Amino acid sequence: MELFCFFFSPRPLLDPGRRRAPACAVALALSLLGGCGDDLTTSATASDSGTTGESDTAPATAATTAATDSGAETTAGPSGTESDSQTGGTTVGLTSGTSTGDATTEMTSGTSDGTGSSATGSTGSTGSTTTGDPTTGDPTTGDPTTGGTTDTGELVGVCDDDTLPYAGSLCGPPQTPCALTANEAVSPEHHFRNEAPAIALDVDCAPQVAYSVAEGGYHGFFARRVGDDQWETEATPMDLARVGLDYDPVGARTLTLAYGGAFNASLWSRDGGGVWTEEDAVAGQHIGSAYAFERDSAGDVHAGLFNAGYVAEHGRWDGGWTLQTFSPQSQQTTLALDPIDDTPNLTYWTSENQTWELTWATPQDGPELVTPLGSNVLEIQQHGVAVVPAPDDDPLVARPYALLAVRQPGGLHSLVLAHRADVDSWVVEEIIAEDDANASLCESPPFGPGETCDFDYIRYLPLGIVGSAGGDVRFVFRMTHHTGTLVSECVQQPFPQCWWTLQEDTSTAELRVGWPTQDGPEWVSFVDDVFATGLTLRVDADGVMHMAMYDTENIGNLMVRYLRLE
């Protein structure tokens, strides 16, 4: 199940440069996944047996959770015993990659007023009637009974089973640089939200986005882009704590995996007239994800799930659901289809060996260890998987790639790109590593009231990865340069105590797109001051990359943003 939040005045900060998350209330069952719309810290334990059956209780491998460095954050440290040792499995060494920048030079780059770029975005379309939702404040625009796809006048491709998946090259490298051609607010209001918005492309290659608001319950919204900076938005008839989205061009309908927040996943469809229909609930108790839902070329739907016993599962719907289980003690499943034969590839975190490991599987192969995390505390769950045809000299027909963060000694993280080189063999290359050698962290507590401390450090967050049937891979990650000033506050009762609280936050952020090369991963920045947390990504029939994301804009809580790269 997920979390929703009630809001009251937050307590002072105890950690430099990090905002405190709003207090979250558990609704209906204990959640291990909904950390206020952000990544979670999860501690593994010595148990190597998962909880089975339908239960709302937490498995032994997920003793504690806390929001971490992807937006609203908590200052409370994880409980349990943290270890940098690796237990069990095969250790995959990190190979240093090539990048176009490093943490040392980035410490002095960029300025920001912290306002982000949503001022240019808008919701609703010209001539539509807008009514506010009194519960969430999100807009409802247009008449949902008149729906259907609308050509934006900008994209002329056809996205159907004959043109997808795209088999050409993708933008990014110097010879084919990306242009940012859209940066729009799907929903500019800042709310408490879970996981990530989901994105799909209709037959005209126009984006559709589904997202949630988790305040006083779970509220779902569905938006269609009908023009430049114009989105028609409607409330969904089902609750959404998490949501997956894809489009069926044969049936001219949008397919939605709705997760209502209490181990209740169900497939819904929305036809061209705006009518929603519940097609089939997944039997039992299951959690779905925006990162793990795709329709294949035969019209079947695939979902990466895990059940109430926290066992990773593959769900296939061809008129009815069939489920295949993989590893127990699992968290955060992602899914991508093989462009050659639609084989679903899943990646997920598992802690069977008393430490967190990223695991890969298909219905025919695996599970296989991709790489150990390097710790039994999982601070950044977010990762992604993409599959492309393998090179001619490769022993495999298809090559899956995974984007993730691994733990360095001392608690920092490296972003890495992994690919399957052979059966049970994965190559892991470093994209970029956090380095606090020149950082200012304000780690020492203040001694009295009115003291100040300037913080200055950099953190990275993996966001998404996608491939083309032509063999190209692109990954997206966020660099956040945390800067600002803390000021001390003190109390004398019941005993003298001082702590740091935020006085000024001047942090900046970049989104970066990267790709593998023979010399290691490379990347470039493509937009500034977008503080993305959860992101989903689609490639259309012209090779254009469409992204939906939650964005704090460095002011707290999450709005919904759409970006387009081509």
Find the mean pLDDT for residues 220-233. Answer: 98
d(CA 95, CA 415) in angstroms, rounded, equals: 12
Q: Which of 36, 44, 25, 29 is nearest to 68 (CA)?
A: 36
Residue 154, domain member (yes or no): no
Please report which confidence band the pLDDT of residue 494 belongs to, taking 50, 70 and 90 as the band edges.
confident
Q: If phi over 0 gives left and psi between -120 and 50 gives alpha, with beta otherwise, what is residue 80? A: left
Q: Does residue 125 or residue 172 have the better pLDDT? A: 172
pLDDT digits (tens, 9 = 90+) for 464-476: 999 999 999 999 9
Beta-carbon count within 10 A of 341 CB: 10
Please report which confidence band the pLDDT of residue 36 belongs to, taking 50, 70 and 90 as the band edges.
very low
Q: Identify the burial level of 142 via C-beta atoms within 10 angstroms of its C-beta, where 0-12 means exposed, 13-18 middle and 19 or more buried.
A: buried
For the chain, what is the domain count? Answer: 1
d(CA 564, CA 199) in angstroms, rounded, equals: 12
Q: Which of 279, 159, 239 is nearest to 207 (CA)?
A: 159
Q: Are 558 and 38 in contact (CB under 8 A)?
A: no
Residue 8, domain member (yes or no): no
Q: Does residue 47 or residue 531 have the better pLDDT? A: 531
pLDDT at 157 (0 to 100): 84
Q: Are 345 and 383 in contact (CB under 8 A)?
A: no
Q: Which of 517, 529, 420 is nearest to 475 (CA)?
A: 517
Non-local (6+) Cβ contacts of 174 within 8 A are none
d(CA 359, CA 61) in angstroms, rounded, equals: 15
Please report which confidence band the pLDDT of residue 18 belongs to, taking 50, 70 and 90 as the band edges.
very low
pLDDT at 34 (0 to 100): 35
Residue 22, domain member (yes or no): no
d(CA 91, CA 88) in angstroms, rounded, equals: 8
d(CA 104, CA 436) in angstroms, rounded, equals: 9
Beta-carbon count within 10 A of 114 CB: 16
pLDDT digits (tens, 9 = 90+) for 327-382: 999 999 999 999 999 999 999 999 988 899 999 999 999 899 999 999 999 999 99
Q: How large a percentage of the chain has pLDDT more than 70?
A: 72
Non-local (6+) Cβ contacts of 175 within 8 A are none
Kindly tell me if the per-residue pLDDT of 458 is higher than 60: yes
Whole-model pTM: value is 0.80
pLDDT at 412 (0 to 100): 97
pLDDT digits (tens, 9 = 90+) for 292-309: 999 999 999 999 999 999
Kindly tell me if the per-residue pLDDT of 244 is higher than 50: yes
Host domain of residue 403 = 94-127+176-565
Residue 324, domain member (yes or no): yes
pLDDT at 410 (0 to 100): 86
pLDDT digits (tens, 9 = 90+) for 510-555: 999 999 999 999 999 999 999 999 999 999 999 999 999 999 999 9
The values of phi and psi at residue 488, to 5°, are -85, 150
Residue 149, domain member (yes or no): no
Kindly tell me if the per-residue pLDDT of 139 is higher than 80: no
d(CA 386, CA 268) in angstroms, rounded, equals: 25
Q: If phi over 0 gives left and psi between -120 and 50 gives alpha, with beta otherwise, what is residue 198? A: beta
Cα 367 to its chain centre, rounded Å, is 22
pLDDT at 141 (0 to 100): 42
Q: Are 502 and 555 in contact (CB under 8 A)?
A: no
Least confident of 64-68, 153-157, 308-312, 409-413: 64-68
Least confident of 99-113, 384-398, 409-423: 99-113
Residue 503, domain member (yes or no): yes
d(CA 368, CA 361) in angstroms, rounded, equals: 6
Residue 151, domain member (yes or no): no
Find the mean pLDDT for residues 28-32. Answer: 34
Alpha helix stretches (DSSP H) within 47-124: 103-106
d(CA 417, CA 414) in angstroms, rounded, equals: 10
d(CA 50, CA 61) in angstroms, rounded, equals: 8
Amino acid at 359: T
- Cα–Cα distances (Å) from 411 to 68, 391, 402, 518, 547, in that order, read 13, 36, 21, 29, 30
CATH code of the domain covering residue 339: 2.130.10.10
Kindly report the average pLDDT of the chain as a whole number.
80
Residue 348, domain member (yes or no): yes
